[in-house]
Amino acid sequence: MNERMIQEKAWARLFDQWIFGLFGTFFVLMLPISFWTVELKWGALYIACTLIPLNLLYMKRYRMRLTFHPELKGLYRRQLARDGINSVAFFLGLNHGILFTSNVAYVYVMIFIGGAFLWTWNVETQTKRHDIKYKQLNKEAI
């Protein structure tokens, strides 16, 4: 259990470093390019390219958690799928004005984002429930 917590903390530090690098690159590189060229599509391209390493981090977390509890493979797969769907929803939410010009498409994007939110909430609740269950089982085994 202790090794799992150490690896989860290491993953969280890696994630935080990635997020700070993302914002730093955005402010130092992408905003000046967008203002200089007066083209917002650079921002959409930047966001699309930054979501690739984010999803790789999610894959790394999936494999790490799978080594600790292989019996929760289905739950971890749903978490991985949820993270991918949230990445797509994030991209669409930030770039709907560039990608979609009709109100109908905007409504579908909002429904998609709402569905991703509800699915995230459901999977997070199940994950917390399973984590509490396994913590109790580990305490009883000791």
Q: What is the pLDDT of residues 60-71, one digit of tens each?
A: 888 887 887 788
Average pLDDT over residues 29-56: 72
> Are the CB atoms for 86 and 116 separated by under 8 Å?
yes
Q: How far apart are CA 20 and CA 103, in angstroms?
A: 34
How many other β-carbons are positioned within 10 Å of the β-carbon of residue 81? 14
Q: How many residues in total does the chain contain?
A: 142
Which strand (E) or helix (H) includes residue 31?
Answer: helix 31-37
Confidence of residue 85 (pLDDT cuts 50, 70, 90): confident
